[in-house]
Amino acid sequence: MSISRKTRFASRRAWSRGFRWAGLGAAAVLAGGALTAAPSAIQSAVPSAKADNCPDIALTFARGTDEPNGLGLVGQALVDSLRQNTGKNIDAYPVNYRATLLQLHGNDGAKDAIKHIKDVADKCPATPQVLGGYSQGASVVDIVTGTHIGGVGWGDSLPPQYASHVIAVTTFGNPADRSGGTIAAQSAMFGAKAVDYCNPEDPICHAGQGNEWKGHTDGYVPVYTSQAASFVQTRLLSLLPATTPGGPLGVPPGSGYLGVPPGPGQLPGQGPLPGQGPLPGPNPNVPGPTVVSQTKPAAFH
């Protein structure tokens, strides 16, 4: 390669790198306002993860006790809903740990989850990440987020400099619900972007009458995994400029959410937004979880 060709190649790389970071800054700024833009304009303003062989979204999920290696039933249902709703390239990483009945390896799972989150953040800094877990896997997520169970904490949490890469945290059947509080209530780093689902019939997370073991094993798919997918999608939309239903991430099913902060659903000088309604949450016609917490407005920080 001649010197002039090398120079041109280096210039193109520098321009491309600068364009990607400029797009990330623009997306973060625009997320705070209620703006509309054509999908093509949004695609040019948001960094392209595919340009670096990066996924659009990276999800790390810890399975429950005695489930075979992989995402587990709940984790797979969550990923399937997200893929169906968004049409995006979602990399789903199953946390590697021994999910045995004695539950002695939760810290190993937390270490593995932290390593993967850091690896993705270092390689693909523009890729939003999602963290989730079910049952014992929810306890793994508790460790990662620094959430204490019964006032006791163990293991190392995710370093603060990586917390901003995780835009949503969701757990199912979390034992912390019965003995110390949810991630949303306890975690300074993740409380604003965390949601916890506890089936009212699940004895692992719910203290009370009417509990049955099947409420834990069979009580989360598809109702609560679908709600969690809508929550994650809303968090993703909060990072992007508001768009039309045909935009990059679509609209969470049944929510009418267009990236506009919760409110009267009206832009200056315009009428109500089509389909504007409450953020995704429990369906009044379906028994809801006892805990669905989001302590602060969604924000990328």
- CA dihedral (14, 18, 21, 27) in degrees, to 10, reads -140
Strand partners of residue 197: 172
Residue entry with tokens 């006032």? 151
Q: Which residues are catalytic?
A: 135, 202, 216
Backbone angles phi, psi at 93, to 5 degrees: -105, 120
Contact 197, 220 (CB under 8 A): yes
Residue 61: which of 118, 128, 135, 8 has the closest Cα?
135
- Residue 242 · residue 260 · CB < 8 Å: yes
Please state, in angstroms and rounded to a whole number, the distance separating the CA atoms of residues 76 and 84.
12
